Amino acid sequence: MAKKNGLDGYCVPFFDDGNKSKFSLASIDPSSKPFSTGSKETDRERLAEIGVLLDAQQERLHAQRVQRVLLVLQGMDTSGKDGTIRAVFHEVDPLGLRIVPFKAPTPIELAHDFLWRVHAQAPAAGELTIFNRSHYEDVLVPYVLGSLDKEERIRRYGHIRDFERMLAESGTTIVKCMLYISKDEQRERLQARIDDPTKHWKFDVSDLDARKLWNKYQVAYEEALAATSTEYAPWYVIPADSKTHRNVMVGELLLRTFESLKLEFPPAKESLKGVIVE
């Protein structure tokens, strides 16, 4: 397993290491809580602490305006992409955070290559950008629906690796998280939305169609993660049946990623020394 951030066991082995056949989602238990203290209250305190620390890190990123950070969030319906963003980035200055939701591509987007709309949303210097779904939808969905054969998938994985390497070599730190829930947990969450009429607006009947393809999606995720986890853009699998655990783990991962950048505020400007404003 890759050595990174103390989250080694949850990092998908790097493609470049020739490990691609060894990765299995089944090796991870979605109901496990490796980053929990065992107490929900203490976990929430830690999450609040992480929020404040992330805000401080992000301010340095913004002040420096050199590096960029990109978090990619993927996961099945109800896996908690929205909830993670809300909980983990609650304390981060909204000025320094850009969230990009990717929906089903529009006709204009489909008229371009699949990375076209994604590249346009890449983080600028000093930005922390979160992709809420991403270019990975453009391999996962057509794979599951049967419109993307193996040859074309392999080509797309190569395009993704090349694209992400280019971003990384241009100063973007990339972290990718798959929020991993069990099929049972999804049933409970979907049922809860159905049973609460005030939550119906969050519910789309197509969610039930996607659920019927659950096993195909697991296979598709397994293949995509193994083919695109790299030193410069690693994939982490986040056990996400527990929302609190999911939030803490994503928060810890981001925080350690930021800390590894050793961001400092820019130095004082000598030219400003002793200047008096009139």
CB of 183 to a copy of itself, least distance (A): 10
The SS3 of residue 145 is helix
CB of 162 to a copy of itself, least distance (A): 26
CA–CA gap between residue 11 and residue 205 (Å, rounded): 33
Q: Judged by CB under 8 A, which stretch of 147-155, 170-178, 218-226, 265-273 contacts a copy of itself?
A: 265-273
Q: Judged by CB under 8 A, which stretch of 8-16, 36-44, 82-90, 223-231 contacts a copy of itself?
A: 82-90
111 belongs to the binding site for a copy of itself (CB under 8 A): no
Q: Judged by CB under 8 A, which stretch of 41-49, 91-99, 149-157, 234-242 contacts a copy of itself?
A: 91-99
Residue 173 identity (one-letter amino acid): T
* Contact positions with a copy of itself (CB under 8 A) in 149-188: 187
The torsion angles phi and psi of 73, rounded to 5 degrees, stand at: -110, 125
Binder of a copy of itself out of 116, 203, 217, 232 (CB under 8 A): 203
Which segments within the chain are labelled E, that is strand?
Answer: 68-75, 97-101, 128-132, 172-180, 235-239
The SS3 of residue 48 is helix
Q: Cα 180 to chain center, whole Å?
A: 12
Binder of a copy of itself out of 3, 201, 209, 262 (CB under 8 A): 201
Binder of a copy of itself out of 63, 115, 210, 261 (CB under 8 A): 63
268 belongs to the binding site for a copy of itself (CB under 8 A): yes
DSSP per-residue string spanning 235-265: EEEEE-SSHHHHHHHHHHHHHHHHHHT---P
